[in-house]
Amino acid sequence: MTESDVLRKLGEIENRLSNLENGKSEKKIVKEDRTEIAEEGKLESSEMSKENGMVKVKRVPVCDHCGHQLSAFSICKRCSKKLDEKCSIEFRKQVICPDCLRGIYPLSRQGFKIMLIVANSITNQGDITRISGIPKNDVKEIVQFLIGSGYLESHMIRGHRLSERGREALFAYSQLWGGTGDMQHLDGEIKRFVFEQ
C-alpha cells in the first residue's frame, strides 16, 4: 500500500464517520412530538417524517364510536371500527357497533321501551302510555312503526307480541341501552305494574 493509498483510505473513513455523525445529529432534532387520535379502524402507531428534523407522532387508540380511550377493544365485524366494551354489541355470535346495529334494525329509544313493555305481555296502549310516560299519540304511531318493521306481530286474542325479529332487536339493543338510568326506571315501572295486576 503506497502512502497515497493510505491517505485515500483515511479520507474515506473520515468521510464515513462525519456522515454518520451528521445523520445522528439530524435525528436528534425532534421538531415536533405530538399525540393524536388514531384513525378509524386503526390502532396506535408512531410515524416519523423528516423535514429538517423529525416529527414523532404517537397515535392513541380510541373507541371509534364514542371516542373513549381504549385499553381493551373489539372490532366491528361489519365496518371494522374499534370498539370499547360499552359500544360492542353481540349480534348473531359476532361483535358489531351501534351504527351497524341501527342499519340492520332501525329503532328509537322510545321504540325500544315499548318493545320492552310488550315483551312483558303488556299490550294495552293505555297501559303502555302510563308505564312508559310516552304520549298516547306517539305510542300509537310507534306501535304502528314496530308492526310495519316486523318487530311486533298482531295477535287476535293476546294483542301484540314480539316477533322473532323483535326479540333479536330487543336483545341487541338491551346491551346498548339496558343499563341506562331511564331504562332502569322503566324496568321498575314494569315490575310495579305487573305486581299490581
Minimum CB–partner distance for residue 64 and Zn ion (Å): 8
Q: Residue 89, interface with Zn ion (CB under 5 A)?
A: no
Minimal distance in Å, beta carbon 42 to Zn ion? 15
Q: Which of 137, 138, 112 is nearest to 190 (CA)?
A: 112
99 phi, psi to nearest 5 deg:
-65, -40
One of 62, 73, 74, 76 touching Zn ion (CB under 5 A): 76
Least gap, CB of 32 to Zn ion (angstroms) = 29
Q: 152-153 and 161-162 as β-strands: parallel, antiparallel, unpaired?
A: antiparallel
| 84 vs 131 by CB, closer to Zn ion | 84
CA nearest neighbour of 143 among 170, 173, 117: 117
27 close to 21: Cβ distance less than 8 angstroms: no
CA gyration radius for the chain?
A: 31
> For Zn ion, which stretch binds (CB under 5 A), given 40-48, 95-103, 114-122, 161-169?
95-103
Nearer to Zn ion, 65 or 160 (CB): 65
The stretch among 30-38, 80-88, 109-117, 155-163 that binds Zn ion (CB under 5 A) is 80-88
Does the protein bind Zn ion through residue 63 (CB under 5 A)?
Answer: yes
Shortest Å, Cβ 149 to Zn ion = 20
The cell numbers describing 87, all together, are 359500544
Q: Are 46 and 59 in contact (CB under 8 A)?
A: yes
Residue 106, beta-bridge partner list: none
Contact positions toward Zn ion, by CB under 5 A? 63, 65-66, 76, 78-79, 81, 84, 87, 97, 100
